[in-house]
Amino acid sequence: MERTITISGRVYRKNSTVDRYQIPIHELGDLWMRDIPPHSHLEILGLPDPHGASEIEVYGLNAGDEGEHELSVYGGASFKVPTEERSRIVARLRRAFPDMDPNWQGFLRNPHISTHLVEGGILANVFLNLKFEDRPETLVRDAVLPFIDGFRRLDRPFVYVFICHASEDKPAARDLALAMKALGAEVWFDEWEIRVGDSIVQKIDHALGRVSHLVVLLSRISVERPWVQKELSSALMLQLSEKGIRVLPLRLDDCTVPPILADIKYADARTGMTRAVVELKAVLFAGSEPDESA
């Protein structure tokens, strides 16, 4: 007997040519993971197509017998690039797909990013395998969200944020660092980067030669600190020499804004970090908002 999948009155039959069901993402509706027939693959169609991808595949799988739930969603994307672009594409994939828990076997990290040589360059792959045996009531459209979010982040502009702050403002800086990372930015935050024995000056100078943006947290304390003033001055020198750093002030309290930043609009966190993050997001990812209709 042929099994079918029914969603809101629409009936889907297995494509015998490829031996799997094929359903567009916008037609998944209220389909649950448990509704995938036993020993069947469901290919999700119509996913975001990141620039440069040579292949995108995402599947829902029920590997169990009748009445069992051996459920997972797996897949990813491949990118063919010149050999010299290996580091760039790997960094791009890592920014787009943050680390998740290992899969149930415990030996494969999510995401798993790999590269290998092919004719004319390298092929870079990102692969995720998400298990749902203990969550059969998950909607399929929710189960594939990590893939959708990652594919969308792949098309956002490169953002590498250095967070300049006084030690007394560390909690606010940490909140900002986590928020920026969640948005898909690469973040340089001192407590994540500097280890015992490291040269602080060398670490900071190296970072300021690579970042795209410097967010300086302005407070009554920080505006008086030599470290903040030094980092800010270095960033402005790089910016003026056309090396690309853009300075973004973020005001934590009613401090006096330094004259060197007086004509630059600041993000306002005086009533909380949420508003400032929204303002920074609009600048850092301008023109890259995803299509929410998918």
The DSSP secondary-structure symbol of 164 reads: E
pLDDT category of residue 36 using cuts at 50, 70 and 90: very high
**Residues 25 and 93 both lie in one domain:** yes
**Residues 45 and 108 both lie in one domain:** yes
18 vs 237, higher pLDDT: 18
| Number of folded domains that form the chain | 2
**Residues 67 and 109 both lie in one domain:** yes
pLDDT category of residue 102 using cuts at 50, 70 and 90: low
**Residues 174 and 89 both lie in one domain:** no
Its pTM stands at 0.59
Residue 243 confidence (pLDDT): 59
What are the residue ranges of helices labelled H in the chain?
86-96, 140-143, 145-154, 170-182, 190-193, 200-208, 226-240, 273-284
- Chain centre distance of CA 107: 22
Distance (Å, whole) CA 123 – CA 116: 6
**Residues 219 and 164 both lie in one domain:** yes
Residue 251's nearest CA partner among 172, 170, 160 is 172
pLDDT category of residue 239 using cuts at 50, 70 and 90: low
pLDDT category of residue 98 using cuts at 50, 70 and 90: confident
**Residues 62 and 179 both lie in one domain:** no
pLDDT at 293 over 50: no
Query: pLDDT digits over 162-213, tens only?
Result: 999 999 999 999 999 999 988 888 899 999 999 999 998 888 887 877 788 8
Query: pLDDT digits over 256-274, tens only?
Result: 998 888 888 999 999 999 9
Average pLDDT, the chain: 87
pLDDT category of residue 294 using cuts at 50, 70 and 90: very low
Query: pLDDT digits over 103-114, tens only?
Result: 444 445 688 999
Query: pLDDT digits over 15-29, tens only?
Result: 999 999 999 999 999
**Residues 28 and 94 both lie in one domain:** yes
Phi, psi of 248 (to 5 degrees): -125, 105
Query: pLDDT digits over 273-283, tens only?
Result: 999 999 999 99
Query: What domain range includes position 21?
Result: 4-154
Residue 286 confidence (pLDDT): 75
Residue 288 confidence (pLDDT): 52
Q: Report the CATH number at residue 220.
A: 3.40.50.10140
- Lowest average pLDDT, out of 21-30, 70-79, 101-110, 245-254, goes to 101-110
